[in-house]
Structure 1
Amino acid sequence: MLAYLPAAVTPGPNFVLIAHTAATGTRRSAVAIALGVVAAGGLLAAVAVFGLGNLLARTPWPATALRVVCGGYLAWLGVRLWWRARTSGKPVEPSTPPARRRTAFGRGVLSNLTNPKAAAFFGSVLTATLPPTEPTAVKAAAVALIVVASSAWHLSVALLFSSPATQRWYARAEPALNRVVGTVLVVLGITLALTP
């Protein structure tokens, strides 16, 4: 937990996606994205602690493919934010249909699965702090703690940024914030995709 919490609360692509959706869309969409991020984090943690991460680390091409996909996804998110900056000021949708919530959940899953920060943490830090010799119960408990901590953090972000006061502030600052965050994501994505 001491290793995971600083990594979880450090802003990254997941934080940006949840906060942006909460501030510009609906609370339900933001919560659905947060739950998708949590589900993917639980999957990544389970893969790391139960040894599949070591297996993937020995084969170089999946790591390269993942890096390129992650970089491309981050750059795509950045371009979308820039595009959104051009169309800011449109009214917020009043409700979120179930099909859109499923799409939001999938975006959360995809965001975390392609998040280089998550890949670095689960692929190196978690596997280093939880050796393969630990009992299965300890590994399962570690995954459960990560899911609980991730749920608390990401759902808090969704609820905080979807408050009416935050949405009003964000609506005024949205174009500039979208351009700044979009630029950062594009640069991070290109750097990640091109760095061996």
Structure 2
Amino acid sequence: MSHYPLFIAMAMLLIILPGPDTALVTQNTLTHSRKGGFRTALGISTGILIHTLAAVLGISAIIVKSAVLFSIFKYAGAVYLIYLGCMSLWSTRKKGATREEAPPYKGKSGFQQGFLTNLLNPKVAVFFLTFLPQFLDGGSNTFLQLLMMGLTYGVLTFAWFLMYIYLVDRINAWMKKPSTQQWIGGVSGLVLIGFGVKLVLEKRQ
């Protein structure tokens, strides 16, 4: 794979761009410390691996070409993002009114949120079908190349979020202030809702 180094460089640039995944990891790290952020990142990376398998097996192409399937995934993903955003805003408002500590962390919730947010986003499937093929070598096994690039993208995503979670946790003293948490929780909620609305308005390409 002669284009592999270029693929890694381009993938890292795309990974660090803020999106719904970043908003979700930030929110869960602030609310539930590193454990919550870690499980969310693991869920996101698992979603990426599922998209990778779907792409190499041709399932993503079927979803993208089918208006009905694409719409189902699009609206399901949008509703879930908006739901998470509304829950974040509601939680922020409730904590602001009662000054209660965050509830004990439930291990599955962060993983589930990260996994479903990524899995139900059909734009991720479109991304894999349009981005990865640009780095294929004509003389090599296409299946193995796509699989390797998808796995690499998942690992790079997880590695980036581990560093990001560590950074957020390091400045936790300031971030844990009630006023700061309310502000960030509100912003995260609005960002998630915004991405959900954006996903609804996205057109199939």
Structure 2 residue 8 is the aligned partner of structure 1 residue 8: no
User: Given that residues 49 and 126 in structure 1 are in contact (C-alpha distance below 8 angstroms), is that contact kept between their aligned partners in structure 2?
Assistant: no
Amino acid across the alignment from 1:112:
N
**Counterpart for residue 90 of structure 1:** 100
1:118 aligns with 2:124: yes
Report how many aligned residue pairs link the two structures: 191
Q: CA deviation at 1:56?
A: 2.1
Superposed counterparts of 1:52-131, under 5 Å: 52-88=59-95, 89-92=99-102, 96=105, 100-115=106-121, 118-130=124-136
Aligned with 2:29 (options 22, 31, 36): 22
Distance 2:131 2:77 in 1: 19
Q: Distance in 1 between matches of 2:59 and 2:87?
A: 33
Distance 1:113 1:67, change over 3 A: same
| Structure 1 residues 108 and 15, CA gap change in structure 2 (3 angstroms) | same
Over the aligned positions, Cα root-mean-square deviation in angstroms equals 2.6
2:63 maps to amino acid: L
Cα 1:34–1:124 change in 2 (3 A) is: same
> 1:156, 1:116 → 2: CA distance?
27
Identity of aligned residues (%): 23
SS in 1 for 2:18: coil
The equivalent residue for 1:168 is 174
CA distance in 1: counterparts of 2:50 and 2:78, whole angstroms: 20
Distance 1:117 1:157 in 2: 23
Counterpart contact for 2:55–2:128, Cα < 8 Å: yes
Match of 1:182 among 160, 179, 189: 189
| 60-69 or 79-88, which deviates more | 79-88
Alignment TM-score, normalising by the size of structure 2:
0.79
Query: Could you tell me how far 1:69 is from its partner in structure 2?
Result: 1.1
Deviation at 1:121, TM superposition (A): 2.0
Structure 2 stretches lacking a partner, 5+ long: 1-7
Q: Which residue type is aligned with residue 103 of structure 1?
A: S
Q: Indicate how the Cα distance of structure 1 residues 81 and 103 shifts in structure 2: closer, same or farther if over 3 A, else same.
A: closer
Structure 1 126/152 Cα, relative in aligned 2: closer, same or farther at 3 Å?
same
Amino acid at match of 2:100: K
Q: State the distance in 2 between where 1:113 and 1:177 align.
A: 25
Q: Label 1:191 to 1:39 Cα distance change in 2 as closer, same or farther (>3 A).
A: closer
